[in-house]
Structures are given as structure tokens and as C-alpha cells.
Amino acid sequence: HRAAFPADFLWGASTSAYQVEGAWNEDGKGPSVVDMLSHPEGTADFRVASDHYHRFEEDVALMAEMGLKAYRFSVAWSRVIPDGDGEVNPAGLDFYRRLIDALCRQGITPIVTLYHFDLPWALEQKGGWLNRDTVEAFVRYARLLLSEFGDKVPLWLTINEQNTMILHPGAIGVPPDRELPDKKALYQQNHHMMLAQAKVFALCHDAFKGLKIGPAINTTSMYAETCKPEDAIAAHNWETLRCWSFLDVAVHGRYNALAWAYLQDRGIAPAMLPGDAGILQQGKPDFVAINYYSTATIAASRGDGNDVSPRAGDQQIMLGEAGVYRPAENPWVGKTPYGWVVDPVGLRLTLRKVCERYGLPILITENGMGAPDKLEQDGTINDDYRIAFLEAHIRQMQLAISDGVDLMGYCPWAAIDVVSTHQGYAKRYGFIYVDRGEDDLKALSRIRKRSFWWYKDVIAKNGNS
Ligand code: BGP
């Protein structure tokens, strides 16, 4: 049978600071690593984005009209502490206070991500996450936000897609004068983020009673290409390395044994200081947030040196690990115009696995379809493909709830069009269209897409079709 969605289900939507706000250097904001990226000629960059910084009141009014129960957004660390670990910028705090107050006035629950890819540039200059001092800078920053906004924000997320930053650093981008860190350095960064996260979980529970906090990992299931046992091992390996190795540290406070053996075998395990194991044990999350877009299909390495291949339609992300696994095609799933696998059933499967593995409530903090939406002559945007995508995922969520999954809410990507990590505004996700005009850099007016009306209806019926 199909269970009904719980009465308090959080129908929401997501954005991140650097992809929506703009105003990259206004009112005392310091630069972040993302501000330093270069962009393809003619595409919008993160410095203007959707200009939400200046138009948040209009945006919140549209969210209220859609009936959103929750809005998941991130705070730009360098807006509130411009150099990451020094002076606090009151104007930065004031922006988020006004945003949070506007949401609360409309009865929309704010869900705040502390850090979504945009490390303050000043910290990056000092070594970024490779520098252990960044751990304490993050804890201080988290304490500031929890104490400023804890009375109005009940749900918090630590770090968005730490696994993407570690496994696919090129997916976020590397400033022109930098090189991608090697794997050993990446896993050391990862370890420091894990320590920072555990400390913030502990801080939140010790000093801010009643608030709930969790990790936000990009989580998905892996299918074996065939029923050949070696393919099953390869799929299991990649699922462990990509998902469970991150969530296990976050939830259980210790490294996954298989992942640790893999890191040691390759000489890329992080250096642990005495006491680190204890720090990881210190804090536990209240829920697990997952970003879910698609599944992948995996075959055993053929040992021919060709395991790594660019993902179809997205040259930025490399899939495959030499000697460990290779990506394969799945004839049973569809693809978005950007080549991302469309697999709603995979969401149900992933929710079941996360539920069984961790026994915690789950919040979906991202899911969505990037497509080149068309603004018609009559001013409409008919994104039926997005409606079909989201509808199919919602039905699978409902089945997962029937399966026994404790699902808290659904915050699709994105509340409003935002800058895509690499395709500017060519690739859009929002319920609300941001008109950047023909030269991609003007107008910025907001237009409700067909999916806006559809989602409003879904929420009004609490997801029951
Ligand atoms: C997730 C990120 C988001 C967002 C989304 C869509 O990994 O957390 O920030 O960018 O992916 O990705 P893209 O813009 O590359 O299509």
C-alpha cells in the first residue's frame, strides 16, 4: 500500500549562497574560493547569480505563494566572517537575520547549511582544509551562527556534499592558478572536515539544546552491470567509497573498515593525531540529509588502464577508479538533457539503505532536473519534463515511507533558478525562472514556471495525488 505523507512533512526547496545571492563583494563580504573561479565567456558568474541578496523579499513572497513549508539555503561564511577566522561582519549577519525573519513571518521553516562549497578565500590562502586550523575556524563560525539564529532555525546542516569536494574536486572548480590537490591531500582535508563536523555536532547538542543537525552527503546507490560476482564487488566498493565511508564517520564516529583498508593500501590514508578518534566519537547527528540526483552502474575493472572515463554529457566529472571499477551504461534508466541518469526507483532504494544502515530520520536536501528551460513568447515556461521527474521521485518517496523509512521532508534543487556549477543559466533547476535576458546579464525578473503551480498543488494536497 501507499502510506500518506506525514502531516508535518517539510515540503521545501533548496539553494546555496554562492549560486543564488550575488553581491559577492558588497556590504563587507570577503571573497570565497568560488569567487576566484573563471567562467566561460558570456555566461553568468557567481558574482551576480540570481541577485537574491537584493531581491530576497520578492523571492520569499514567491516561496510563500508556492506554499513552501521549508527553505534550505546556505550562509556564505565569508559574508559573516570575511576572512574566515577574524572579525565578524555585522552587515553580513544582518542580511541572514532579515532573510530568516522574512521566512518565519511566512511560516516557512529555515534550514541552514553552514558551508556549501564556498570556503573563505583567506582561509584557502592559508592552506584551506589541509590546514588543521580551519577546523577551529569552522567551529567558531558555527558557534556564531547557532547563537545568532538558533532561536529561529531548528534544522542545521554542516557541510554540503563533502564527498563531492573530496572525490570530484574538479566538479566544483579550481581557481586558474591552482592545481587539483593529490589524493593524499584530499583525504587529509576530508579528515579535517570530519573532525570539524563532529565538533559542531557536539557543540550544537551541548550548547544549543533542541536544535537538530546533520551531514548532507550526495548519496546514491550503485548497480552492478551484470550478475557477475566481480561486478557486484566493484559496485559495492564504489558505493562504500562514495557514500558510506563519509556517512559512517558522520553517524558512527569512526572510519569504515573497507574504506580505511583501501586508503591504507594506496598510501593515502590521512594522518590521525592522538585524540582524533575520540573527537570523531564526540558528536552524532540527529538526522541524515541526502542529496540525490541519479544512480550509477558499475562493472569490475578490466585491468586495461581504461577504467576512468568522463561522465556522459558532463566532462567535468570523472568516473571510475583505475584497477577498482569502471562505469557502465544502464539500459533501464533514462537521462536528462545533460546526460544525468534519471532513476526515481533508485531514490527509494537509496532511502531504504540509509534508513537500514543508520536508523535515523532522513531529509532530502537536493533532487532535481537540470534542463535548458525555454521562455516562450507568451511569457510562460512549460517545464513538463521537470514536473514528470519530480512527480516520479515523490511517488517513490511515498513507497519508501510505506517501506518504513522515516522521511522528514523534501527540498528539491532548486527553489529558484541558480547558477549551475558549470553551465551558467543554460542549465536550470528552479520552480521560478530568473530572466537574465539575451546577454545573460540583465533583467533578473522572476517568472513562475509551470512546475511552480504544480508544486503548489502537490504541497496543498500534502503529496497525495
Ligand atoms: C549538487 C550541488 C549543488 C548543485 C547541484 C546541481 O551537487 O550541491 O550546489 O549545483 O549539484 O549541479 P549542477 O549545477 O552541476 O547541475
Bridge partner residues of 159 (DSSP): 115
Nearest Cα to 415, choosing from 9, 46, 67? 67
> Which atom of ligand 1 lies closest to the CA of 370?
16
Q: How far does the centroid of ligand 1 lie from the alpha carbon of residue 164, in Å?
A: 10
Cα separation, 447 vs 376, whole angstroms: 11
321: which DSSP letter?
B
> Which atom of ligand 1 lies closest to the CA of 427?
16
Q: How far does the centroid of ligand 1 lie from the alpha carbon of residue 9, in Å?
A: 24
Report the nearest-CA residue for atom 6 of ligand 1: 420
Residues with CB under 6 A from ligand 1: 16, 19, 160-161, 164, 218, 291, 366, 370, 413, 420-422, 427
> Which atom of ligand 1 lies closest to the CA of 338?
16
> Which atom of ligand 1 lies closest to the CA of 218?
7
* Angle between helix 133-149 and helix 90-105 axes, rounded to 10 deg: 50
Residues 6+ apart with CB under 8 A from 254: 248, 277, 280, 281
Q: How far does the centroid of ligand 1 lie from the alpha carbon of residue 175, in Å?
A: 18
> Which atom of ligand 1 lies closest to the CA of 419?
14
Bond preceding residue 102 cis, omega within 30 of 0: no
33, 73, 242, 366: residue to mutate for ligand 1 pocket, most atoms within 8 A of CB: 366
Q: How far does the centroid of ligand 1 lie from the alpha carbon of residue 420, in Å?
A: 6
Q: How far does the centroid of ligand 1 lie from the alpha carbon of residue 419, in Å?
A: 9
116, 413, 418: residue to mutate for ligand 1 pocket, most atoms within 8 A of CB: 413
Surface-to-core class of residue 36, CB atoms within 10 Å of its CB (0-12 exposed, 13-18 middle, 19+ buried): middle
Q: How far does the centroid of ligand 1 lie from the alpha carbon of residue 354, in Å?
A: 21
Q: How far does the centroid of ligand 1 lie from the alpha carbon of residue 2, in Å?
A: 30
Cα separation, 311 vs 422, whole angstroms: 14
Cα separation, 410 vs 397, whole angstroms: 9
Nearest Cα to 162, choosing from 193, 135, 207, 183? 193
Cα separation, 380 vs 266, whole angstroms: 54
Which residues are tagged catalytic?
Answer: 366
- On whether the CB atoms of residues 133 and 125 are closer than 8 A, the answer is no
pLDDT in tens, the chain (465 residues): 789 999 999 999 999 999 999 999 999 999 999 998 876 655 557 888 999 999 999 999 999 999 999 999 999 999 999 999 999 999 999 999 999 999 999 999 999 999 999 999 999 999 999 999 999 999 999 999 999 999 999 999 999 999 999 998 877 777 777 888 899 999 999 999 999 999 999 999 999 999 999 999 999 999 999 999 999 999 999 999 999 999 999 999 999 999 999 999 999 999 999 999 999 999 999 999 999 999 999 999 988 888 887 654 444 456 788 888 998 999 999 999 888 999 999 999 999 999 999 999 999 999 999 999 999 999 999 999 999 999 999 999 999 999 999 999 999 999 999 999 888 888 999 999 999 865 555 568 999 999 999 999 999 999 987
220, 421, 423, 434: residue to mutate for ligand 1 pocket, most atoms within 8 A of CB: 421
DSSP 366-403: E----B-----TTS----HHHHHHHHHHHHHHHHHHHH
* Angle between helix 52-66 and helix 90-105 axes, rounded to 10 deg: 20
pLDDT given for residue 437 in this prediction: 65
pTM for the complete prediction? Answer: 0.97
ipTM: 0.98
> Which atom of ligand 1 lies closest to the CA of 368?
6
Q: How many CA atoms lie within 13 A of 462 on its CB side?
A: 8
Report the nearest-CA residue for atom 16 of ligand 1: 420
Q: How far does the centroid of ligand 1 lie from the alpha carbon of residue 39, in Å?
A: 16
